[in-house]
């Protein structure tokens, strides 16, 4: 497996673009993105578990449930189109209809695109009606600008409070053919276990059935996107979509086996990269926290313990203060719902500056606080928890809780 450039346009047959439609006043960067495949794709998705779901989530879920197919995704930032009633539902439909009509009428595309094969996503402020007419006014510009280089504008268009774009692409071999997976994501705040205010789009030219694509996506999400927390809030708009157009012409993956496992390995890799980038770019964050639990009774237990640690506000605040307050880690593990023997737990902090053990088999360790502060001042800090309950391990990603987070969210709407 090799890292390559290109994000969502790295796989064969995919092009993208982003334009500034003017959805939110004052924005000067692109706010509307479009991803398009030359061929209709087998598709799958994972969505927010929040009971309150945005109108684009409802529409996209319905279309994937009915068809398991897609050819294009249109997405906007600056407005979540959530809690907007019938008007918002119609705005989501209008976005897909405008994209389908413009694609179908474009000499550049040269084919009819079915409205039902266009998926839609939105992110931004909740409870305000989406000015869909400005998107419609710029839709032809969006379509005509589609290109292999368009991933750069598309990745910008989906950002809200993100401070950096998030994308990744890899190349690997399946069935004797070169296959690519590309992805881009946005996410900075309202991020919690089982996804958060994040949009993520994955494209691949691998030939894989809709059933196996859905299986791979759900399997991968459990150990990647569902192990990220920034602030404990699960959003109304979380959406993770994957489109596979089969243009790599590998023997179609229709069952578990070596080819499926190779595809899943690559999917896990790109999703892990996105999970890390989202956690590291948490609103106002100064540190990426990576908690790994080893020696657990099973993988789910390890993940649950790790997620409890990185979700703790007190743990996050301690890392902001560069305070090696390991007691908060033990406390967070204790209310995780998982059973373990505290007398067999060891905790260490580590990164490029070294490794410091702070708790050893139920006993505090006399460590150098000054050295610990140097280690905790690095951008990334690893939290290693060793149990003696079994052989399983799991990892979760989070960030520290800073003054800047409150500043960003205190007047986000106004």
What is the token pair recorded at 371? Answer: 């050295």
Residue of 60, 160, 183, 197 with catalytic role: 197
Q: How many CB atoms lie within 10 A of CB 314?
A: 13
DSSP bridge partners of 208: 253
| Cβ–Cβ < 8 Å for 65, 246 | no
Give the strand pairing for 346-351 and 166-174.
Answer: unpaired
Q: How many CB atoms lie within 10 A of CB 391?
A: 11
Q: In degrees rounded to 5, what are phi and psi of residue 328?
A: -70, -30
Q: What is the rounded distance in angstroms from the CA atom of residue 263 to the CA atom of residue 250?
A: 11
- Picking from 83, 19, 89, 18, the residue whose alpha carbon sits closest to that of residue 60 is 89
What is the token pair recorded at 192? Answer: 């919690």
Residue 197 annotated in active site: yes
Q: What is the rounded distance in angstroms from the CA atom of residue 325 to the CA atom of residue 285?
A: 18
Q: What is the rounded distance in angstroms from the CA atom of residue 236 to the CA atom of residue 54?
A: 5
Q: How many CB atoms lie within 10 A of CB 368?
A: 11
Give the residue numbers marked as catalytic.
197
């Amino acid at each position: 497996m090799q890292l390559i450039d290109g994000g969502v346009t790295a796989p064969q047959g995919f092009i993208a673009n982003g334009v500034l439609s003017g959805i939110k006043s004052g924005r000067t960067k692109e706010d509307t993105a479009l991803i398009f495949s030359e061929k209709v794709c087998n598709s799958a998705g994972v969505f927010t578990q929040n009971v309150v779901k945005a109108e684009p989530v409802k529409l996209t879920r319905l279309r994937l449930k009915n068809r398991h197919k897609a050819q294009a995704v249109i997405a906007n930032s600056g407005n979540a189109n959530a809690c907007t009633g019938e008007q918002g539902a119609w705005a989501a439909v209008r976005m897909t209809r405008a994209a389908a009509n413009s694609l179908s009428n474009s000499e550049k595309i040269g084919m009819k695109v079915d409205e039902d094969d266009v998926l839609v996503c939105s992110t931004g402020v909740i409870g305000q009606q989406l000015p869909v007419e400005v998107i419609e006014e710029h839709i032809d510009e969006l379509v005509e600008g589609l290109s292999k280089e368009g991933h750069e504008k598309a990745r910008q268009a989906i950002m809200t409070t993100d401070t950096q774009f998030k994308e990744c692409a890899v190349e690997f071999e399946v069935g004797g053919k070169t296959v690519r997976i590309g992805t881009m994501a946005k996410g900075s705040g309202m991020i919690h276990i089982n996804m958060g205010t994040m949009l993520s789009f994955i494209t691949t030219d691998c030939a894989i059935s809709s059933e196996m694509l859905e299986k791979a996506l759900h399997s991968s999400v459990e150990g990647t996107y569902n192990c990220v927390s920034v602030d404990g809030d699960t959003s109304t708009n979380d959406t993770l979509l994957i489109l596979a157009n089969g243009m790599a012409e590998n023997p179609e993956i229709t069952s578990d086996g070596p080819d499926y496992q190779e595809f899943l390995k690559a999917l896990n890799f790109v999703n892990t990269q996105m999970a890390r980038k989202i956690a590291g770019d948490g609103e106002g964050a100064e540190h990426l926290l990576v908690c790994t639990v080893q020696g657990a009774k099973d993988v789910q237990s390890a993940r649950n313990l790790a997620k409890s640690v990185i979700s703790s506000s007190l743990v996050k605040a301690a890392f902001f203060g560069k305070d090696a307050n390991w007691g908060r880690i033990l406390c967070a593990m204790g209310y995780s719902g998982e059973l373990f023997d505290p007398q067999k737990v060891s905790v260490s902090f580590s990164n490029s500056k070294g490794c410091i053990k702070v708790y050893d088999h139920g006993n505090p360790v006399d460590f150098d606080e000054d050295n610990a502060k140097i280690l905790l001042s690095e951008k990334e800090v690893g939290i290693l928890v060793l149990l003696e309950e079994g052989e399983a391990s799991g990892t979760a990603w989070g960030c520290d809780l800073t003054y800047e987070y409150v500043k960003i969210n205190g007047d986000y709407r106004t």
